[in-house]
Amino acid sequence: MIDEIDSRLKEWIATVIDGKLAITFEHPGAERSQPTVSAYLYDMGYSTPNSTTREIPLQISLSYLLTVQSDNQVESHKYLGKILYAAKSQSDMEVGFPALPGQFWQAIGTVPLPHFSLHVPMMIMRETDHCPVIKAQPHIGISPITHLTGVVLGPLDQPIPDAKIMLPHSKTVVYTDNKGLFSVAADANSQRAFNCKIDAKGKQFSVSVPMQQILKTPHAPFTIHLDLEV
């Protein structure tokens, strides 16, 4: 991928300078035997994709540092200016003028040189997973929500107040009142049984009451008996 961008960039630079100078991708401080244009890839980063196709492009911006090295500084300036002018006319390139610190030039072993940067996009196409076409209108089923009222009783049918009732499927927690009564919202059509856990008098109980039994008397609370010691 990057080597293809390198090849196109080298061909473009060669046309701008009429093949008068050598072209390298080595850093500006590398040894040279002739006047040379250096297009040094010094940075990469994400760029904003601008495609409207169903494919999602991964777009990377390649940042090249452009310098010209020659024993004749006037010649260096001439060709650097020609490349800069030509780059400003290219719609697929972005010109920048990075302020490189002295440590950068020291690290590559040369004095600071006149330079500019070329930011060239590299796009990698990635196909998305195609969703199947929906040929029929979706059916939305809505189940009625009803409030179930129950009563928790202990020995001798004594109501148990402040019993903690937990519904595992919905994470609902309710407490019985002083008459042992409680009320919860439930989908009566989707459940075969009312399942809950009850904490009462320091004990925990797992309870399951068939929904058919509860719906027999919809206007009266259903009863949960707990086996508590008197």
Taking Cα atoms as reference points, which of 154, 144, 194 lies closest to residue 174?
A: 194
Whether residues 118 and 152 fall in one domain: no
Whether residues 110 and 220 fall in one domain: no
Q: pLDDT averaged over the chain?
A: 85
Taking Cα atoms as reference points, which of 161, 115, 135, 149 lies closest to residue 222?
A: 149
Spell 22-32 as b/e; 16+ CB within 10 A means b: ebbeebbbeee
Domain hosting 116: range is 2-126
- 29 vs 21, 39, 110, 215, CA distance in Å? 17, 12, 5, 87
Whether residues 80 and 178 fall in one domain: no
CATH for 60: 3.30.2000
> In total, how many domains does the chain have?
2
More confident residue, 178 or 145: 178
Structure-token pair, residue 204: 């925990």
Whether residues 120 and 155 fall in one domain: no
Question: Cα Rg for the chain, rounded, in angstroms?
Answer: 39
Q: What is the residue-wise DSSP string for 41-52?
A: EEEEEE------
Give the model's pLDDT for residue 146. 75
User: CA geometry: angle at 32 spanning 43 and 74, to 5°?
Assistant: 85
Q: Is the pLDDT of residue 78 over 60?
A: yes
Whether residues 113 and 204 fall in one domain: no
Give the model's pLDDT for residue 60. 85
Q: What's the DSSP call for residue 21? A: S
Q: Is the pLDDT of residue 193 over 90?
A: no
Assigned domain for 189 exists:
yes
β-strand partners of 43: 63
Q: What is d(CA 25, CA 148) in angstroms, rounded to the nearest whole number?
A: 77
Whether residues 26 and 98 fall in one domain: yes
Whether residues 101 and 23 fall in one domain: yes
Whether residues 162 and 93 fall in one domain: no
Give the model's pLDDT for residue 190. 61
Q: Where is average pLDDT lowest: 117-126, 128-137, 149-158?
A: 128-137
Assigned domain for 136 exists:
no
Residue at which a domain ends, from 126, 158, 185: 126
Q: Where is average pLDDT lowest: 18-22, 112-116, 123-127, 225-229?
A: 123-127
pLDDT band, residue 144 (cuts 50/70/90): low
Whether residues 122 and 163 fall in one domain: no
Whether residues 119 and 150 fall in one domain: no
More confident residue, 226 or 146: 226
Q: Which tens digits make up the pLDDT trace of 84-126?
A: 999 988 888 899 999 889 899 999 888 999 999 999 888 776 6
